Amino acid sequence: MSSDEIRKLAAIMFTDMVGYSALSQRDDKLALELLEEHRELLRKIFPEFNGTEIKTIGDAFLVEFNSALEAAQCAIEIQRALAKRNADAPAERQIQVRIGIHIGDVVHRGGDVYGDGVNIASRIEPLAGAGGICISMDVERQIRNAVETRLEKLAPTELKNISVAMDLFRIVLPWERKSEVRGHKSAVREGVAAPTGRRFAWISGLALLLIIGLGWWWTTLPHKNPAAPQVEGGAPATPKTEGLTGTRPSISDKSIAVLPFDNLSSDKENAYFAEGIQDEILTRLSKIAALKVISRTSTQKYKSAPDNLREVGQQLGVANLLEGSVQKVANAVHVNVQLIRVATDEHLWAESYNRKLDDIFGAESEVATAIADQLNAKLTGSEKESLSTKPTSNPQAYDAFLRGLAFQGRVDGMQTNITKSIEAFAEATRLDPEFGLAWAHAVREDGLAYMNFDRTPQRKEAARRAVENAIRLTPDLAETQLAEGFYQATFEQNFEAAQSRFEAVRKRFPNNSFAGELLGGLARKHGQWDQSHQFYKEAVELDPQNVFLLSDASLTDVGRRDIASARQLLERARNLSPQNSTVVAILAATYQMTGDFAQAQTLLDSVTPAVGDDWYFAVMPNNAGFLRKYEPAIALLKAQLSKPQALGSSLGGFQTTLADLQRHAGDTAAAAQTYEQARTTVEAALREQPDSANLIGNLAWTETCLGNKSKALELARKAMTMDPASKNTYTGPIREEQLARIEGHFGEKDDAIAALQRLLSIPYGGPPVTPALLRVDPDWDNLRGDPRFEKLCQEPNK
């Protein structure tokens, strides 16, 4: 160390002003004004707690403190002052910051501060969320008995460039809504396919939603969300788990949730094993029809042994909780479980099992059988047989299978985790080619890879081989039947056959929420909107805190134009995942449907979308058009397009969207150039996917805006033929809407207005047109003044 360097232990605080970049692009004068006010306010507070401002980085502060307590007290005071200031400020003048704190070794050199203490604090800050404070475990240890505020533990989190996952906490501020959980990574996969032009960017994404729930089926969403909030000594602060549109039914005495099992192994790499044991016990319980069993997706957010059992039980809608721990040493496994009655905190039953790895299946079956007995759930003969069946006699194959389960459905690096899961299931089936359950799970992972990043013949062949082996070996398993339906929907587009598989699973295994969700998606595709709503309602009852499921369910209500029900679901999802830009984008779209474009913009500005977030960049440009404020949206899209490789198959859609905005903003030369680029991109994509109605529709819109009427109409009608409303009542009408927009663009008023009259009378995805949207959408400007069109713009009750 040089003589001008000083090494010391210090508490480091990073602060960041939320939404500043987006605001500066939209209104740089206001952004600078709020930035200066923010700086003035924070700089008054730092000295009160002996904080030393090291530097500013744009809209961020790096501040050093002598103690963790002073840093935490300062952070709380900052958020208190801002909350008080924001209480009387309009939405567009709100100032919110995120704060991250860590204590560690730092080096002072040349007026700056370096070291892991600084690096870790900078990585923690983004996880705090708007108005929140996130701290490391090292800080929590020093303040836990010195601050009056409650601390919530987050799941172990992998931070960029930090080799070991860290335990993090958030400080629960007294003025927060009780149900609010701040700033965690998106729990809904964002962007599943390329947008097909600004008006039709939802087609491709929602096409997958209605078929297979964006692919996150079966275990849906995170097996272990690394940023899922956990309360220290209790449950996450989440909204009340009501039914789809109302209050939850009475809780059955035969209802149960299996909480995450503690991993007591000295080797923390064995965490996957504890997760797998929990999952296998839950899976066996879910096959007992007399029980109501909550899906794993909703239970993974909790600690293994929460203190506030009654609150957890109410949130999950169950009367009983199963807690457990697993310790694995070489080939020996120790499992401890206890069944607890939520209302009385009574331990109904507890047992410990010491087994060898090759005999662990017996323990899982004994646990499920004992719980059924304690809850007076009578088992049928087939259920008894199912509980006692060993999926494999090869302990190494089973160990690989559990690793596959651990990576399955995670959203923290989706491609990496899918690949790891594929590799683990491949290892399990290599070690035991007769392992039917592993083959069934492999179908899911192969399908997800095929839809998202590996659309090769080899991947499709792997899925075909897996589903055939699963059917040959274990045809009666729920997992096999779901796998077969998944394969039929994903690779064969045989939705009728898939539906029959899902219905059979739902009937035989009523605790399987995924079958209900998948049926809900298929029902809206077939025009059975009320039935779709009911399927989702039942699925949500079994999986009440699944962010994706709540969002997926909302799309049925959006299509039905039941805005109140859709918003209720989306707000629940948003409370669980506040920084989820996909959830926020769908919620913003519901405000667009009712004409509240200012609120839609406020929502869109509240999150920072990732590169290539198709959903956000479908809804955000629409709002720019509705408000006639194009430049900020153009800037955001150009930033996205500066990284074309990251956009992948979405590139053509993003280019078309940018060209639309440039055209409406009056920059016709730039728009023409961008449309030409989009045409080249989409034509290249069509050479690889000639049967894609989405790409053909995108090209139709591009030809429209380049002035090629006959070509545009020909392509739009071809897309309608390929995806007709008679076969797909969810996306088919969107093709009709696209044709109407093209007709309106070229002055074919009679046909365009006739189509709009029909579209306003039916449910469909997109979201569907509404009078409020017709009144402001620039794509319909050529129809304005026609009495027939003006009548459509009036609300039904006017």
- 3-state DSSP call for residue 725? coil
Two structure tokens written together for 581: 């830009």
pLDDT at 202 (0 to 100): 38
Mean pLDDT, residues 229-249 taken together: 35
User: For residue 601, is pLDDT > 90?
Assistant: yes
For the chain, percent of residues with pLDDT exceeding 90 = 39
Mean pLDDT, residues 214-219 taken together: 30
Q: pLDDT tens digits for 451-483?
A: 766 777 888 999 999 999 999 999 988 889 999
The residues, ordered by sequence, that sit 6+ positions from 739 with a Cβ below 8 Å of its Cβ are 713, 716, 717, 720, 755
pLDDT at 193 (0 to 100): 31
pLDDT at 606 (0 to 100): 92
Buried b (16+ CB within 10 A) or exposed e, 17-35: bbbbbbbbbbeeeebeebb
pLDDT at 51 (0 to 100): 92
User: For residue 360, is pLDDT > 70?
Assistant: yes
Mean pLDDT rounded to a whole number for the chain: 82
Two structure tokens written together for 502: 């899902």
Q: Which of 262-266, 342-346, 425-429, 698-702 has the lowest mean pLDDT?
A: 262-266
Alpha helices, H only, 491-580: 495-508, 513-525, 529-542, 547-560, 563-576
Q: pLDDT tens digits for 633-673?
A: 999 999 999 988 878 778 899 999 999 999 999 999 999 99
**What span, in angstroms and rounded, lies between the C-alpha atoms of 291 and 256?**
7
pLDDT at 267 (0 to 100): 65
The residues, ordered by sequence, that sit 6+ positions from 586 with a Cβ below 8 Å of its Cβ are 551, 554, 555, 558, 566, 570, 615, 619
Q: Which of 136-140, 274-278, 548-552, 716-720 has the lowest mean pLDDT?
A: 274-278
pLDDT at 29 (0 to 100): 86
Mean pLDDT, residues 668-691 taken together: 92
Alpha helices, H only, 287-413: 296-299, 309-316, 360-374, 381-388, 395-407
- Count each helix (H run) and each strand (E run) in the chain, helices first: 34, 14
- 3-state DSSP call for residue 191? coil
The pLDDT confidence band at residue 688, using thresholds 50, 70 and 90, is confident
Q: Angle at the Cα of 435 (from 332 to 457), degrees rounded to 5? A: 130
The DSSP letter of residue 394 is -
Q: Which residue has the tokens 């029959």?
A: 500
pLDDT at 329 (0 to 100): 75
**What span, in angstroms and rounded, lies between the C-alpha atoms of 116 and 163?**
11
Mean pLDDT, residues 221-235 taken together: 27
Which residues in the chain are classed under CATH 1.25.40.10? Answer: 198-207+572-792
| Beta-bridge mates of residue 355 | 333
Which amino acid is present at 118?
V
User: For residue 749, is pLDDT > 60?
Assistant: yes
User: For residue 155, is pLDDT > 80?
Assistant: no
Two structure tokens written together for 725: 């409303």
Greater confidence (141 vs 665) lies with 665
**What span, in angstroms and rounded, lies between the C-alpha atoms of 367 and 370?**
5
The residues, ordered by sequence, that sit 6+ positions from 439 with a Cβ below 8 Å of its Cβ are 425, 429, 466, 467, 469, 470, 473, 474, 483
Please tell me the CATH code under which domain 239-390 is placed: 3.40.50.10070
Please tell me the CATH code under which domain 198-207+572-792 is placed: 1.25.40.10
Greater confidence (697 vs 126) lies with 697
Q: Which residue has the tokens 């204590």?
A: 103
Q: In the chain, what is the straight-line distance between the N-terminal and C-terminal CA atoms, in Å?
A: 77
Q: pLDDT tens digits for 268-299?
A: 666 777 777 887 788 888 888 888 888 776 77
Hey, what's the torsion of the CAs at 667, 673, 679, 682, to 10 degrees?
-90
Which residues in the chain are classed under CATH 3.40.50.10070? Answer: 239-390
Give me the helix-helix angle, 651-664 and 631-641, nearest 10°: 150
pLDDT at 187 (0 to 100): 29
User: For residue 626, is pLDDT > 90?
Assistant: yes
Q: Which of 361-365, 528-532, 620-624 has the lowest mean pLDDT?
A: 361-365
Q: Which of 163-177, 338-352, 549-563, 640-654 has the lowest mean pLDDT?
A: 163-177
Q: pLDDT tens digits for 388-445?
A: 777 888 988 988 998 888 777 554 456 777 888 999 999 999 999 999 999 999 998 9
pLDDT at 736 (0 to 100): 96
pLDDT at 2 (0 to 100): 57
**What span, in angstroms and rounded, lies between the C-alpha atoms of 504 and 490?**
18
Greater confidence (671 vs 215) lies with 671
Mind giving me the DSSP string for 119-178?
HHHHHHGGGG-TT-EEEEHHHHHHHTTT-SSEEEEBPPBPPTT-SS-B-EEEEE-TTS-T
For the chain, percent of residues with pLDDT exceeding 70 = 85
User: For residue 588, is pLDDT > 90?
Assistant: yes
**What span, in angstroms and rounded, lies between the C-alpha atoms of 201 and 195?**
4
Mean pLDDT, residues 237-248 taken together: 38
Mind giving me the DSSP string for 630-690?
-HHHHHHHHHHHT-HHHHGGGHHHHHHHHHHHHHHTT-HHHHHHHHHHHHHHHHHHHHH-T
Q: Which residue has the tokens 């088919």?
A: 732
Which residues in the chain are classed under CATH 3.30.70.1230? Answer: 6-172
Quick check: 682 and 693 in contact, CB under 8 A? no
Class for the domain spanning 6-172: alpha beta
3-state secondary structure string, 245-309?
CCCCCCCCCCEEEECCCEECCCCHHHHHHHHHHHHHHHHHHHCCCCCEECCHHHHCCCCCCCCCH
Greater confidence (240 vs 305) lies with 305
pLDDT at 115 (0 to 100): 81
Greater confidence (741 vs 152) lies with 741
The pLDDT confidence band at residue 307, using thresholds 50, 70 and 90, is low
Report the length, in residues, of the chain.
798
Cβ atoms within 10 Å, residue 47: 11
pLDDT at 165 (0 to 100): 61
Calculate the alpha carbon distances from 180 to 234, 308, 339, 569, 574 in Å.
15, 17, 29, 15, 9
